[in-house]
Structure 1
Amino acid sequence: MWSASRVLTATSGFGAISLGPWVGYPELQTASADPFAKAHRASDGRILLGRAEGLVFTASEDQDGDALSGLCSYEVSGQTPPARFWTLRTTDNAGTPLPAAEMFPASLTSWTTLREPDGTFRITLSAKPATGNWIRLDADSGVAFVLTLIDTPTAGSAGLIELDMPTIRQIGCRDA
């Protein structure tokens, strides 16, 4: 009983793909998802995107393999895979969105993100406001970044492993 309960709460499914620090489960929301993933999502009560609708990637580490911390500042930069729309938000390690203080951005979208002339972007995630694209990141423990791609041809792509994902670089930490 304990082992079944542990698997249901510890996994989002088998078949994960890792692209740098980003991890996604392209089969998670399809008919071919494993039974543990289906049970986990059913007990979680989350609305699922169909494979043709979108793909969710989560990062809990930076490019160097260090765990993301709410006490640090990060830069997420580069490009996303092709998508009609995307969002970037922060959560705790359990996947619960971090509380958003009034008038501070808790997420950014493809529609609100400023870009360089070549189409790349740079987003700062930190407790202190930053110029340009900024998401407030103020927590006392580990965090995760969640990139959701909506209406993306990559969700059904056999070439998923070859996609370029944004990089995550730590740019400083506050005193603990």
Structure 2
Amino acid sequence: MKLALKLLATVLVALAFGVGSALLAVRSGGLGKAVSSGPWETDLTIGSADADPYIRAQVAVAGLLALNRNETIYFTAARDGDGNRLRSDCSYKVEGYDPPARWWSITLYGEDHYLVSNPLQRYSYGGETVARNEDGSFTIMVGPEETDGNWIPTGQGHSDATFTLTLRLYNPDENAARKPSGIVLPQIAKEACAS
């Protein structure tokens, strides 16, 4: 009887550690072939046959519904250009030119990987919806306080609430699909924080 209880306890501990480490690996990310361009990061295995079970689980948890990498490249920014976490109580300026793709969008997601609720129901801008500057570039303000022009609300976040921005490049040009780290992507600069 003692042997059976010890065996059961050992199996339960091993199972708890196994499930716990798998969940940690899936939630923390960083298991694939990550490349970056400024604050934007992508994983070369997302949407490819090279994706292992952990990468596939990360995609399922984050809700990317990843297409083939030749069709779409997904970049995520969790930090600004200075390397600081994107915080809901801060305002940021996202500036740049159209990335090399047929169509693109920038979308804000909360810590839970869902869209952040806001009264305007404004969650993203894309190549066809963003207002442009005179030189063809665009500026998108991201933050808790409404601004004129392109603005994505971060909600009524507190100082420890964070968010991410996802940049999707649909039908990227051949060079971008081959070497995503060589793409010049929009800059993310912190403007001010409430606290």
| TM bucket, shorter chain | 0.7 to 0.9
The alpha-carbon distance between structure 1 residues 99 and 82, as it changes in their structure 2 partners (threshold 3 A), is same
In 1, the alpha carbon distance for the partners of 2:110 and 2:180 equals 26
| 1:70-118 Cα shifts (integer Å, max 9, x gaps) | 00000000124211111111112342221132x3522111111112243
Q: Which of 41, 47, 60 is equivalent to 1:23?
A: 41
Q: Which of 72, 75, 89 is equivalent to 2:90?
A: 72
Q: In angstroms, what is the RMSD of aligned CA positions? A: 2.1
List aligned pairs for 1:1-40, cutoff 5 A. Answer: 1=18, 2-11=20-29, 13-40=31-58
Q: Please tell me whether the aligned partners of residues 140 and 150 of structure 2 are also in contact (alpha carbons under 8 angstroms).
A: yes
**Aligned-residue offset at 1:6:** 1.9
Aligned length: 174
Normalised by the size of structure 2, how large is the TM-score? Answer: 0.79
The alpha-carbon distance between structure 1 residues 144 and 154, as it changes in their structure 2 partners (threshold 3 A), is farther
The answer to whether the aligner puts 1:126 opposite 2:143 as a matched pair is yes
**Aligned-residue offset at 1:164:** 0.4
In 1, the alpha carbon distance for the partners of 2:192 and 2:131 equals 22
In 1, the alpha carbon distance for the partners of 2:167 and 2:103 equals 11
In 2, the alpha carbon distance for the partners of 1:26 and 1:57 equals 10
The answer to whether the aligner puts 1:160 opposite 2:180 as a matched pair is yes
In 2, the alpha carbon distance for the partners of 1:53 and 1:64 equals 30
SS at match of 2:107: strand
Sequence identity percentage: 29
Q: Which of 119, 123, 134 is equivalent to 1:106?
A: 123
**Aligned-residue offset at 1:58:** 0.8
Q: Which residues of structure 2 form unaligned runs of 5+?
A: 1-17
Q: Which residues of structure 1 form unaligned runs of 5+?
A: none
Q: Counterpart amino acid of 1:26?
A: L
Normalised by the size of structure 1, how large is the TM-score? Answer: 0.87
Name the residue aligned to 2:10: none
**Aligned-residue offset at 1:28:** 1.0
